[in-house]
Structure 1
Amino acid sequence: MNDSRSWLGLAALVLLGWLVHQLQPVLMPFLVALLLAYLGDPLVDRLEARGLSRTSGVVAVFILFSLILLALLLVLVPLLGKQLLRLYELAPEMLDWLQGTALPWVQKKLGLRYGFWRFDRIKTLLTEHLGQATDIAGILLAQVTSSSLALLAWLGNLLLIPVVSFYLLRDWDVMIGHLRNLLPRKREEWVVRLAGECHEVLGAFLRGQLLVMLALALVYAGGLMLVGLELGLLIGLLAGLASIVPYMGFVVGIVAALVAVLFQFGLDWYPLLGVVVVFGIGQLLEGMWLTPLLVGDRIGLHPVAVIFAILAGGQLFGFTGVLLALPVAAVIMVLLRHVHEFYKLSTLYGESGGDSQESSESP
């Protein structure tokens, strides 16, 4: 009987994975809405505790999220657009600087033979692609006009996100209560405790780690702009996003910033020192204040596991898999801890220890 239940559970998991893969385009707005509802539920609960109704609290949280999104669209997006255009303008000059200054210096210091880099071929290929990129607006317009149904479907999914988020957020506690009532009575306490651990891990990641990434992006971008780096905002935001993997944001950001400083200022020590100071302050803030305060030690995901989860999720389910990768990996880590505890308490583990002890005592 237990074997049949195990096989049924395994078949249900396989079926669920197949359904997620097949329904991937449809699931994306619902997953984003679920993520927004999960992030907004604590705020609504706090507003309810202060006397607001559930619906009024949801409306207030929606207004807050809308203002944040509007601020990003009005302030951040135009600045990023200007920096991307500036990067596009500087790309040929940066290639010339690499070919004429940086790479010959490295080649001389390392004793490499002449023509080792084959940089002329790389430059030719990149210049051709940059030339083709000038017609990107026309290409996008042609694609939009030729696939208007796909554009309408994309816009429909985008408009569906706030609607689904509103209803999920309004009925969040009711849905959680219904799910709890469906649990087997004998297993309810264990399942609720396990769900609580998963909720703690997910909350630490989704709220804590995202806030850490945002704070680091602000520190890096603001610091690099104060140093005078033209692409400071772009590099700072990139470093903040890469901070989803521990130390990757620091490595990616400081390497990109140092290259940009060398190109813009040459061997001037003050900008180079400024970049080092900015990223040093960012690391000190992350290690001593941001991560202990906002995340703590509750996630328990190794950096290699984070990288593998993101790549595997994107490979299997595309953008939907990227959204699901780290939350699912965090839950799997919680489940694996319990599996490890069950294994340590099982007869299999005890018999292995007893057999090895008997074999060692036997003459």
Structure 2
Amino acid sequence: MADQLKFSPRQKTTITAAITLAAALGIIATAVLALLGLSRFVAAFQQVLMPPVLALFLALLLQPVFDLFMKISRGSRVAALILLFLAAVIPLGLLIWLGTVYAVNQIPRLIEDLSALLPSMWETVQSLFAGVQSILEQIGLESRLDEVFSNPGDLFSSSLNNISTAITGSAQGLAASITDILAWLVTPVYLVFFLLAPPFDIRMLHKFLPFLKKRTRKDVVYLADQFISILLTFFRGQIIIALLQGILFGLGFALVGLPYGAVIGFVLGLLNIIPYLGSLLGMAVAIPMALFSSGGGIGLGLLVLLVFAIVQAIESYLLTPRIMGNRTGLHPALIIFSIFFWGTALGGVFGMMLAIPLTAFIVVFWRLLKKKYIQELI
């Protein structure tokens, strides 16, 4: 009977398309399940996994500097490691520590001053948007907002108390877990191990994939090489860009006379390691401070906007093209979407930081899949 079944070319095309669609849906479902499983696995073992992952990431970022010191030390990896720690790791650690201490001293005062500005900000909003008040009254929010903005100190005190309680609880939990503490203490040991280990050639990945066809192995190695290349290019470039943006924002805000300008600019510039995050938060903090602080006003607000425009222009037309080029090849709208998507999928800041490399890798993977494995059906 099977021999009697005959299909027309159009029916064969339809059946092939249906099978291909089912296979594609199966692959997508498998990928989603794998992503969920990976997310849960990382969440369950993050205290054990994060130190070696962080050390490997730092080793990859520092590899160009390490190679430079290898040349200076005539091929001695131990001497290059000592030079690296003396010239880069220790000074950078001290700089981060001093900057953190300064920021920790300034940020509470900044929050206190911002809370003092909230009543005048609310009055300005009410005067500019009188129609909003009637709408708020109708939905029952006007009295609540009046209470919040007329007593911002209570709001901030309550929020800070909640944060303090959460931090204290987390600190106590961390202190109670000896395994977690030891895991983070050995991070420098992991870093030393990765730096002293012989460099890994991605082409050696062939040896670990004997069960794949030769063509498939070649494609897997290509994808792995592309992922590592995108990851390193993005983070090496983005860290440098974020540092330069922090310096430019800090200097610009300080020069125009914005209160706490150096702290606001530098911290929010560093947050641009996650693209657009620092700029968006900067607008939300710097503009109200410029408009409503003592000695501020429209003039200072315009100067702050000018600093934003100049720094963003420098970043868009000078820093990013020269440092990173168009390595990721992603549209800005796709970048913003990927940040929110991966931040949700992988849980918070860690996912947001990996958003662009992961999305760029998926684009590369899709292009390879479409070119070599997906055939035209209709």
In the aligned structure 2, how far is the partner of 1:192 from the partner of 1:139?
Answer: 44
Q: Output aligned runs, 1:135-150, within 5 Å.
A: 144=171, 148-150=175-177
Q: How far did residue 68 of structure 1 move? A: 0.5
User: Which deviates further from its counterpart, 248-257 or 130-139?
Assistant: 130-139
In the aligned structure 1, how far is the partner of 2:366 from the partner of 2:222?
Answer: 15
**Partner residue of 1:254?**
283
Compared with structure 1, are the counterparts of its residues 238 and 261 closer, same or farther at alpha carbon in structure 2 (3 Å cutoff)?
same
- Tell whether 2:118 aligns with 1:95: yes
**Partner residue of 1:211?**
240
**Partner residue of 2:320?**
291
Q: How far did residue 259 of structure 1 move? A: 1.2
74, 85, 88: which one pairs with 2:108?
85
Q: How far did residue 285 of structure 1 move? A: 0.9
In the aligned structure 1, how far is the partner of 2:153 from the partner of 2:299?
Answer: 32
- Tell whether 2:351 aligns with 1:328: no
- CA-atom RMSD in angstroms: 3.5
Q: How far did residue 299 of structure 1 move? A: 0.8
**Partner residue of 1:360?**
none
**Partner residue of 1:66?**
90
**Partner residue of 1:156?**
182
Q: How far did residue 94 of structure 1 move? A: 1.2
**Partner residue of 1:229?**
258
- Number of aligned residue pairs: 337
Q: How far did residue 286 of structure 1 move? A: 0.9
1:46-79 superposed Cα distances (whole Å, 9 cap, x missing partner): 33234241222233223312211111212x1122
| Percent of residue pairs bearing the same amino acid type | 29
Compared with structure 1, are the counterparts of its residues 247 and 26 closer, same or farther at alpha carbon in structure 2 (3 Å cutoff)?
closer
In the aligned structure 2, how far is the partner of 1:284 from the partner of 1:78?
Answer: 31
In the aligned structure 1, how far is the partner of 2:166 from the partner of 2:219?
Answer: 56
Q: How far did residue 208 of structure 1 move? A: 0.9
In the aligned structure 2, how far is the partner of 1:164 from the partner of 1:81?
Answer: 29
Q: How far did residue 249 of structure 1 move? A: 4.0
Compared with structure 1, are the counterparts of its residues 136 and 313 closer, same or farther at alpha carbon in structure 2 (3 Å cutoff)?
closer
CA contact (8 A) 1:216 1:282 kept: yes
Q: How far did residue 34 of structure 1 move? A: 1.6
1:93-133 superposed Cα distances (whole Å, 9 cap, x missing partner): 11221233x2233224x675396572223337854343343
- Tell whether 2:191 aligns with 1:165: yes
User: Which deviates further from its counterpart, 218-227 or 234-243?
Assistant: 234-243
TM-score scaled by length of structure 1:
0.77
In the aligned structure 2, how far is the partner of 1:21 from the partner of 1:272?
Answer: 43
CA contact (8 A) 1:107 1:113 kept: no
Q: Output aligned runs, 1:172-191, within 5 Å.
A: 173-174=199-200, 178-184=204-210, 186-187=214-215, 189-191=218-220
User: Which deviates further from its counterpart, 240-249 or 85-94?
Assistant: 240-249
Compared with structure 1, are the counterparts of its residues 291 and 146 closer, same or farther at alpha carbon in structure 2 (3 Å cutoff)?
closer
**Partner residue of 1:24?**
46
AA at the equivalent of 2:371 = E
AA at the equivalent of 2:214 = K
21, 26, 34: which one pairs with 1:14?
34
- Tell whether 2:292 aligns with 1:263: yes
**Partner residue of 1:361?**
none
**Unmatched tracts of structure 2, length 5 or more:** 1-22
Q: How far did residue 292 of structure 1 move? A: 0.4
